[in-house]
Amino acid sequence: MADIVLATFNARYEHCSFGLRCLLANLGELAPRARLLEFSLDLRTPEAAEAILALNPLILGLGVYVWNARESAMLVEELKRLRPELLIILGGPEVSHETSGQQVCRDADFVIQGEGETAFPQLCRRLLAGETPAEKVIAAPAPDLALLALPYGLYTDEDIASRVIYAEASRGCPFACDFCLSSLDKAVRDFPLPRLFAAWEELLSRGALKFKFVDRTFNLDFKRAAAILGFFLERYRPGLFLHFEVVPDRFPEELFPLLGKFPAGSLQLEAGVQTFNEAVAARIGRRQDNAAAEKNLLRLRRETAAHLHADLILGLPGEDLASFAAGFDRLAALGPQEIQVGILKRLRGAPIARHDAEWKMVYSPHPPYELRQNGLLDFFTMQRLRRFARYWDLVANSGVFAGASALICAGPSPFNSFLAFSDWLYARTGQTHSISRGRLQELLNLYIVEVLKQPASLAARLAGCDALSARYNSKNGAKRQARRSENG
């Protein structure tokens, strides 16, 4: 039994809900009366409702994100039919903006907009005392990070053994990119490092090895970044893996030697390039020194063993197909291990909406609100590019078909070469999902021989080398998890 249940749908089992743990850690005297429930997206609504109602709670706090908006809405609707007296409090980025237009917000009893570590416990205390606040939508002030209880002690032994441990050293972003919700929070706030180090030390002593930092701009304050890298270097052991999101054009000289000390397979850097088109970048409020970004990414490839995961966004206002292709080729020339091609999303509250009329932006009305067409990229072109992004993930980013993808992308434009393969693959299969690795290998061999006019012996040799490499990478844990479903 529990008076308060904190619940959410995670995108995958291996993902922990960092937000719920932050709320639970700050419930104070209410913490013993609370339980945390995490569901996967494949769990059906009745089973999720059953798990919640079996605890007979008075209050449900539900975390709503772009990836679970549909499931959350269905769950709230069902729960209100089954137990109308259950008090449902929503929180999370998806319900922090454009609240009045969402049915899930109308169905719930309360909505907390913003960071909830202080607002949620305050609301729970009032409700459990029999008070009924007049306001349904509560705009939570940003808490003082120095005063918050840290959530790291709430990671279970199962979390440590089987899941990614999320961590954060700061909140906020000083940049103002229109596509990103972080642009609404202009200031960067830092957690005190001594408290973080003590909490992470305890996690390491319990066997934690995989840490994914959710900071938007890890390397912005290079002294803090250096301190965190030094902390983990001093405690390095085989299997340690760290993921950081970095600003590619801001790498002070002092960071390169530190980054270079991490062994292969232990460090992943996610660099948000997004676009090389300077006019487009200026239009969406993105400040980036492209020459510095290129120089730094090249140095990271040459002087460190870090796995580089670089992001580009398709469909930004004013970027046509030729411009995106040029940017993709420019990034590919720098040699990152992964290029994540994301489709522009109109996240609720993000300023990107201000371009809708001028650039004829048309988004899906359903989560994750991806762009369907605009004035420069019609619907059918966007569909081609959507398939390009999917196949690029399967073939190039997976690391399983390195030899084949290098051959396909050979030539003056890797983008155009792979787009031709993408068009061929879709015409051949009519599928973007449910293609087995074995079937994909057969299709790659066929393309190399029939379209690229290469000898079958070369296709077979590449397939053999790729198979050996894939087995080696799997054995040594080199395949990296680096997906940002939100481009904000």
Closest CA to 192 of 150, 224, 146, 151: 146
Which of the residues in the chain have pLDDT under 70? 183, 469-488
Angstrom distance (rounded) from CA 46 to CA 146: 40
314-343 pLDDT per residue, tens:
999 999 999 999 999 999 999 999 999 999
**Cβ proximity of 224 and 190 under 8 Å:** yes
Question: Which distant-in-sequence residues (6+ apart) come within 8 Å of 71 by Cβ?
Answer: 9, 39, 41, 45, 48
Which string of DSSP letters, residue by residue, matches 347-415? -TT-GGGGGHHHHT-EE-SSTT-BEEE-SSS-HHHHHHHHHHHHHHIIIIITSTTHHHHHHHT-SS-HH
User: What is the spatial distance between Cα 422 and Cα 384, in angstroms, rounded to a whole number?
Assistant: 8
For the chain, the maximum distance between any two Cα atoms, rounded to a whole number of angstroms, is 78
pLDDT at residue number 470: 66
* Element of type H or E holding 137: strand 137-139
Q: Measure the CA–CA gap between 76 and 92, rounded to whole angstroms.
A: 15
Instruction: Give the residue extent of every domain in the chain.
Output: 4-143, 150-377, 397-488
What φ, ψ does residue 373 adopt, rounded to 5°?
Answer: -165, 165
Q: What is the pLDDT of residues 221-231, one digit of tens each?
A: 999 999 999 99
The topology (CATH level 3) of 4-143 is Rossmann fold (3.40.50)
pLDDT of residue 478: 38
Tally of residues, the chain:
488
CATH architecture classification, 150-377: Alpha-Beta Horseshoe (3.80)
Q: Which two tokens stand for residue 240?
A: 């340690």
pTM: 0.92
pLDDT (tens digit, 9 = 90+) per residue, 14-55? 999 999 999 999 999 999 999 999 999 999 999 999 999 999
